[in-house]
Structure 1
Amino acid sequence: MEDWQQRTQLLLGDEKMERLRRAHVLVVGLGGVGAYVAEMICRAGVGRMTIVDADTVQPTNINRQLPALHSTLGQKKAEILASRFRDINPALELRVLPVFLKDENIPELLDDAAYDFVVDAIDTLAPKCHLIAESMKRHIKIVSSMGAGAKSDISQVRFADIWDTYHCGLSKAVRKRLQKMGIKRKLPVVFSTEQADPNAVLLTDDEMNKKSTCGTVSYMPAVFGCYLAEYVIKRL
């Protein structure tokens, strides 16, 4: 056991640490939520990870996103995080895919490796739902993040089946899309029971199919990310 993992080993034990070392986790989306998920899983000692995101750091990311600094503006989030993760765990087998995930390339991504867990931290509806559907089709364990925007009360963050969520616009949209796709299986998600602040939502219509921009505060995406990381680590 390497020195940097001693505290984790004391809590989780040798058998669990070995399972983590043998595991391969796919994290799709490296924004406010996904970057924290990936780093917490990396720090726990997972042996293999694939990270996917083509976004570059923008000024509006700095208030909440792990890779976002004034010194990293314009750089690819996946590449910034790859450098961090290799510095945290030099033994990590890391595959970095700085690409936008589209419906048609999701099957290829999922068939490229034997993933033990998929983390969906995508914030656009179509690829999010297709990743969920294709993971379920392959019987790959998946956990998904719902919307952290326009919310600020961490005491209302919860895990639930997607079909039992409420006060979450993204959850509602995902449920509707999954129903159209004929999917009725349970899906574990992290969401907030807090009602979104209507004054923090700006309606938009941009090229990435985002229909709104939500106000966010530094800690909420990180809390969502830590919830997801806990879920994955406990089930590997």
Structure 2
Amino acid sequence: MKHQFSRNELAIGQQGLDLLKQQTVVILGVGGVGSFAAEALARTNIGHIILIDKDDVDITNVNRQLHALTTTVGQSKVSLMEERIKLINPDCKVTPLHMFYTEETYEEIFDNYDIDYFVDASDTIMYKVHLMKECLDRGIKVISSMGAANKTDPTRFTISDISKTHTDPMAKIIRQKLKKLGIRKGIPVVFSDESPIVIREDVKD
């Protein structure tokens, strides 16, 4: 019988679908990167998706965020994404956490959920580094998005170890901070080797 994951089943089989259904994935930051990551995971039969973001949709999000529409401005990003995921896969358990990841809140996340994978789509360097170390210490798989601001060529993005990143100002700072913690490699990241374009000065923010 056909179902919403029939095409996935052709590639990975029923055993693969069952394995994905047993996984719990956390997405930190449900914005330009995280919203699309959340939907992609929902469309692969992930069993439990935890969404972390305290922000509401802003009008400036409409150009790049999946849940951002002129009709959703002012609404919670995690709540909107939860609703969208449920429309894709009603059987997926979705836990929306309307909060920020900080040194004061991280234990609430790690201690209350049995996490298989962490998708770091946040943009605060201090907490990205904190999350990376915490995942390494706890043996939890993590992948982190680096800087994409003012980059326009999607073909330049790649997945690599943090130690092999270059031409990315955010990744450079993160490497330096990780080095101080004794971490030089072992964290997969998504980054672009494109140099950022110069921002137009004649456009008002």
Give TM class, smaller chain: over 0.9
Deviation at 1:200, TM superposition (A): 5.8
**Structure with a larger share of its residues in helix:** 1
Q: Is the 8 A contact 1:110 1:135 kept in 2?
A: no
Q: Is the 8 A contact 2:162 2:185 kept in 1?
A: no
Q: Give the Cα separation in 2 of the matches to 1:17 and 1:62.
A: 33
Q: Which residue of 2 aligns with 1:90?
A: 90
Q: Give the Cα separation in 1 of the matches to 2:35 and 2:73.
A: 16
Deviation at 1:49, TM superposition (A): 1.1
Deviation at 1:182, TM superposition (A): 2.6
Q: Which residue of 2 aligns with 1:228?
A: none
Alignment of 1:175-190 (within 5 A): 175-190=175-190
Deviation at 1:176, TM superposition (A): 1.3
Alignment of 1:191-202 (within 5 A): 191-199=191-199
Q: Is the 8 A contact 1:107 1:134 kept in 2?
A: no
* AA matched with 1:133: K
Deviation at 1:60, TM superposition (A): 0.8
Q: Which residue of 2 aligns with 1:138?
A: 138
Q: Is the 8 A contact 1:103 1:126 kept in 2?
A: no
The DSSP-based 3-state class of the residue aligned with 1:8 is helix
Say whether residues 1:65 and 2:65 are aligned partners: yes
Q: Give the Cα separation in 2 of the matches to 1:196 and 1:63.
A: 18
Q: List, as ranges, runs of 4+ consecutive aligned residues in structure 1 with deviation greater than 6 Å.
A: none
Cα deviation 1:166-205 (Å, max 9, x = unaligned) = 110110111111122232241100100111113369xxxx
Q: Give the Cα separation in 2 of the matches to 1:107 and 1:161.
A: 26
Taking only the aligned residue pairs, the percentage that are identical comes to: 37
The DSSP-based 3-state class of the residue aligned with 2:6 is helix
Normalised by the length of structure 1, the TM-score is 0.82
* AA matched with 1:53: D
Q: Is the 8 A contact 1:27 1:118 kept in 2?
A: yes
The DSSP-based 3-state class of the residue aligned with 2:172 is helix
Deviation at 1:13, TM superposition (A): 1.1
Q: Which residue of 1 aligns with 2:124?
A: 124
Q: Give the Cα separation in 1 of the matches to 2:65 and 2:47.
A: 24
The DSSP-based 3-state class of the residue aligned with 2:191 is strand
Deviation at 1:107, TM superposition (A): 2.6
Instruction: Give ranges in structure 1 of 5+ residues lacking alignment.
Output: 202-212, 214-236
The DSSP-based 3-state class of the residue aligned with 2:105 is helix
Normalised by the length of structure 2, the TM-score is 0.94
* AA matched with 2:172: K
Q: Which residue of 1 aligns with 2:154?
A: 154
Say whether residues 1:35 and 2:35 are aligned partners: yes
**CA, structure 1 residues 200+192, in 2 after alignment: closer, same or farther (shift >3 Å)?**
farther
Q: Which residue of 1 aligns with 2:108?
A: 108
Q: Give the Cα separation in 1 of the matches to 2:122 and 2:78.
A: 14
